[in-house]
Amino acid sequence: MTESIAQPGKIIAIHLSYASRADQRGRRPAHPSYFFKPSSSIAASGATVERPAGGELLAFEGEIALIVGTPARRVSAADAWQHIASVTAANDLGLYDLRANDKGSNVRSKGGDGYTPLGPELLDARSINPAALRVRTWVNGELRQDDTTAGLLFPLAQIVADLSQHFTLETGDVILTGTPAGSSVIVPGDVVEVEVDAPTIDGVPSSGRLVTTVTQGEAPFDDALGSLPAVDDHQRAEAWGSREAAGPPEDADEPAGPALSPELRAKLATIPTAGLSAQLRKRGINACVIDGVAANRPGLSLVGVAKTLRFVPGREDLFKSHGNGYNAQKQAFDAVGEGEVIVIEARGETGSGTLGDILALRAKARGAAGVVTDGGVRDYDAVVEIGLPVFSRGAHPSVLGRRHVPWDFDVTIACGGATVQPGDIIVGDGDGVIVIPPALAQEVADAAFTQEAEDAWIAERVAEGHPVDGLFPMNAEWRARYEQAQTEQHVADQSNEEARR
């Protein structure tokens, strides 16, 4: 390895760049995003890397590394590759135990000594096609990752050009171009090998295998200086690659309501409730719709985790004991968490308000994703102006005590004819609001996402004048035509990408 690799001025890494990895995470970014790694994280082939004392989730990420040859500032994608001198293998190691603490910057989770092995050989960038590189990773001799740059969401030249429009890429800088699906957790004693090659070229020029052995560190973190490693079931699933690979939840004896990850939340936000409810019906869940509610402002939608609030029918003595002071309604709105949806049981009674502008403001300030009530809303216009997604049965000027007594929260309720439990996934749009059992959320979202693509293709055929018989749903003939169209589109997309390069 050259001195320029040993001590680069900058190491820039991309978060998500391969379609296989993005699909595994449940979201495809529209644009690349990046983070920096310190030059002290560089290591050579054959080195060891410590899993720190107290750490659990050290993960490998086989990647293609680009070494900048000549400075690049505001270069075009067409010219960007001319500024790359070499290509080699990299392992973008990371400790997921520390990832949540740095909110995407990855300073500690990916900045450790030895967390960026590079090498062992350099490929001359001028002699290879950046669109035809391959990266493979083995753990203890077992192939774990195998993908090519044809699977990138953002071509290598685009990444270089994009970075150059923000700062100067200097000679010797290293760009880590992302990892495909297959990244997972490694433990002390594991041996990781990463290789980058160009299989379309005679002789298959290769970086050789970049070898890293995992050891167990002994020095503990000092909690007086900063945050300590901490993991939860979400981080385990992210590090291992899936919930199944991570094994049962940490509290396996407790009812495990999976958290709504940012990736799953983003995917659900793109899928109509009609598609989600259809997938629930296929799985035997028919009572999933909160009937009779609509968005207070057309076009609003919401995705979040249910926090429930229950009202019982109004009774003067009970309202005196339970409705005044710091009642269950106020407690629920004070306790709602970021990304949660307050779901209110009002028994379909519209002759009174169940919230007004002050409580809507409180929910928004707390980061709530919205409110769903099968009752009415006071201060209707003011609530609309606040911008918090609220789904209700409409406006009513009366205060709560006219028809309701706030009774309790964080309990199983009935809202609009649907049973809602704390932790259920709530999705609302122009068609209404549905309730998704958290254990089915990922499966339903993935299936609905795929179905939406099929439905869009069917709609195009209907617009062309084809009858729906045999097309909706697709019979064997139409299914074959659809799959052929998908294959042709994929080939065309690759050709267009290569032409742009």
Pair of tokens at residue 153: 């969401």
Residue 1's pLDDT is: 40
In 3-state terms the chain splits into helix, strand, coil percentages (rounded to 5) of 30, 25, 40
Dihedral-angle region of residue 362 (phi above 0 means left; psi in -120 to 50 means alpha; beta otherwise): alpha
**DSSP assignment letter at 327:** -
Of residues 312, 272, 298, the one with CA closest to residue 406: 312
The number of C-alpha atoms within 13 Å of 432 and in the hemisphere containing its C-beta is 18
* 310: three-class secondary structure by DSSP: strand
Residue 10's pLDDT is: 95
Residue 248's pLDDT is: 62
Give the DSSP H or E segment for 240: helix 233-240
Residue 250's pLDDT is: 55
Q: How many CB atoms lie within 10 A of CB 395?
A: 16
Q: How many CB atoms lie within 10 A of CB 107?
A: 15
Distance CA 302, CA 443 (A): 19
127 exposure class (CB count in 10 Å sphere: 0-12, 13-18, 19+): exposed
Residue 180's pLDDT is: 95
Q: What is the per-residue DSSP string for 360-417?
A: HHHHHHTT--EEEESSBBSSHHHHHHHT--EEES-B--S-GGGTEEEEEESS-EEETT
Residue 501's pLDDT is: 63
**DSSP assignment letter at 254:** S
Q: What is the per-residue DSSP string for 404-440?
A: EEEEEESS-EEETTEEE-TT-EEEEETTEEEEE-GGG
The number of C-alpha atoms within 13 Å of 431 and in the hemisphere containing its C-beta is 11
Give the DSSP H or E segment for 308: strand 302-313
**307 contacts 341 by C-beta, under 8 angstroms:** yes
Length of the chain: 501
**pTM beyond 0.85, yes or no:** no
Distance CA 396, CA 205 (A): 73
What does the H/E/C string look like for 46-94? CCEEEECCCCCCEECCEEEEEEECCCECCCCHHHHHHHEEEEEEEECCE
Dihedral-angle region of residue 255 (phi above 0 means left; psi in -120 to 50 means alpha; beta otherwise): beta
Residue-wise pLDDT tens for the chain (501 aa)?
433 465 899 999 999 999 999 887 777 888 999 999 999 999 999 999 999 988 889 999 999 999 999 999 999 999 999 999 999 999 999 999 888 777 678 898 999 999 999 999 999 999 999 999 999 999 999 999 999 999 999 999 999 999 999 999 999 999 999 999 999 999 999 999 999 999 989 888 999 999 999 999 888 888 778 877 877 777 787 888 876 677 665 544 443 334 688 889 999 999 999 999 999 998 888 889 999 999 998 889 999 999 999 999 999 888 888 887 788 899 899 889 999 999 999 999 988 999 999 999 999 999 999 999 999 999 999 999 999 999 999 999 987 778 899 999 999 999 999 999 999 999 999 999 999 999 889 999 988 888 877 888 888 888 989 888 887 878 888 888 887 887 877 777 777 777 776
Pair of tokens at residue 92: 């973008």
Give the DSSP H or E segment for 14: strand 11-14
Distance CA 272, CA 14 (A): 31
Bridge-based pairing of strands 302-313 and 340-345 is parallel
- Please name each of the domains of the chain with its CATH number: 3-246 (3.90.850.10), 262-442 (3.50.30.40)
Distance CA 38, CA 51 (A): 18
Residue type, 459: A
**136 contacts 95 by C-beta, under 8 angstroms:** no
Residue 249's pLDDT is: 58
**DSSP assignment letter at 355:** -
Of residues 29, 123, 125, 18, the one with CA closest to residue 61: 18
91 exposure class (CB count in 10 Å sphere: 0-12, 13-18, 19+): buried
